[in-house]
Chain A
């Protein structure tokens, strides 16, 4: 093995194009609902399906790790608790003092994994969890009202400003909630809870009117 060769313990999880990818909410057929369902309402819901979700764990006090991550992602790790950064199509969210969720375009996840193996050294971990969770965006004038029914966070704009991210209980499951705009939130939900939360979100949004976007 030459010095430049990357001894990569990574595997491309994406099958070839003959096997289509199905999001955890595939069965809900959001595309049809977007066309046939109501076009006006207080809560808008859109699934950003099949993104690349990477869980990064490394030492925030190790400057080599921080520099390596910045070389790969083009953006510095958010070290402030409950903060997040978005640069181009890469989003990094703080989830724990030594853990971050990195969202990248679905087809580029393997490239990022490979780059991490090349740039990072020492004790760190990067796991591709794209198949285990999905990202749902909720927005609209009543998005906050709907979220207030679903989880115990304080969504006051002073307490939960744009860019803040928090792991919390959501209904009887869990979610990572991130505010991306005044009336716009992203939820990262687990695959096994996706159907339950999809039913929950429909029910919780009913009184405001739910609009599916695709």
Chain B
């Protein structure tokens, strides 16, 4: 079980109160009518599956029902950082 800090409630809660919502920071093409099929397909369907640091979207489903971002190590399950929507991660992979 992960013990997750909710940046809106301001305290740690058990994982069962949360739902993971996949990769964070997916930008919608600004002009969907004029983007290529490849761009649109990658926006809709293609996701990272990194070994190591991953930026994820989570929702505090049973609590405040707000979304937030989390940087997590997919190998160790260590949560590196939790930050609100609109903010940029301070912990990023080296590459």
Q: How many A-B residue pairs have CB under 8 A?
A: 36
Residue contact B8 to A97, C-beta cutoff 8 Å? yes
Q: Which of B75-93 contact A (CB under 8 A)?
A: none
Q: Contact residues of B with A, CB < 8 Å?
A: 8-11, 13-14, 16-17, 62-66
A136 at the interface (CB under 8 A from B): no
Residues of A contacting B64 in the complex (Cβ-Cβ under 8 angstroms): 81, 95-97, 99, 167
Residue contact A167 to B8, C-beta cutoff 8 Å? no
Q: Contact residues of A with B, CB < 8 Å?
A: 81-82, 95-97, 99, 152-153, 166-169, 174
Residue contact A81 to B62, C-beta cutoff 8 Å? no
Complex Cα–Cα for A95 and B66 (A): 10
Q: Pick from A82, A96, A152: contact of B17, CB below 8 A.
A: A152
Complex Cα–Cα for A99 and B11 (A): 18
Nearest 7 CB-CB pairs, A to B?
A152-B14, A96-B64, A167-B63, A169-B62, A81-B10, A174-B62, A81-B9
17 further A-B contacts with Cβ under 8 Å, apart from A96-B65, A97-B8, are A81-B9, A81-B10, A82-B11, A96-B8, A96-B64, A96-B66, A97-B64, A97-B66, A152-B14, A166-B9, A166-B63, A167-B62, A167-B63, A167-B64, A168-B17, A168-B63, A169-B62
Complex: chain A residue closest to B84, CB-CB: A97
Complex: chain B residue closest to A82, CB-CB: B9
Residue contact A82 to B10, C-beta cutoff 8 Å? yes
Residues of A contacting B13 in the complex (Cβ-Cβ under 8 angstroms): 152-153, 168
| A93 CB, nearest partner CB in chain B, Å | 12
| B61 CB, nearest partner CB in chain A, Å | 9
| B3 CB, nearest partner CB in chain A, Å | 10
Complex Cα–Cα for A99 and B60 (A): 14
Complex: chain A residue closest to B16, CB-CB: A169
* Known interface pairs A95-B64, A167-B64; A81-B17 also in contact (CB < 8 Å): no
Residues of B contacting A99 in the complex (Cβ-Cβ under 8 angstroms): 64
| A205 CB, nearest partner CB in chain B, Å | 22
Residue contact A168 to B9, C-beta cutoff 8 Å? no
Residue contact B66 to A152, C-beta cutoff 8 Å? no
Residues of B contacting A153 in the complex (Cβ-Cβ under 8 angstroms): 13
Complex Cα–Cα for A27 and B21 (A): 39
Complex Cα–Cα for A138 and B52 (A): 45
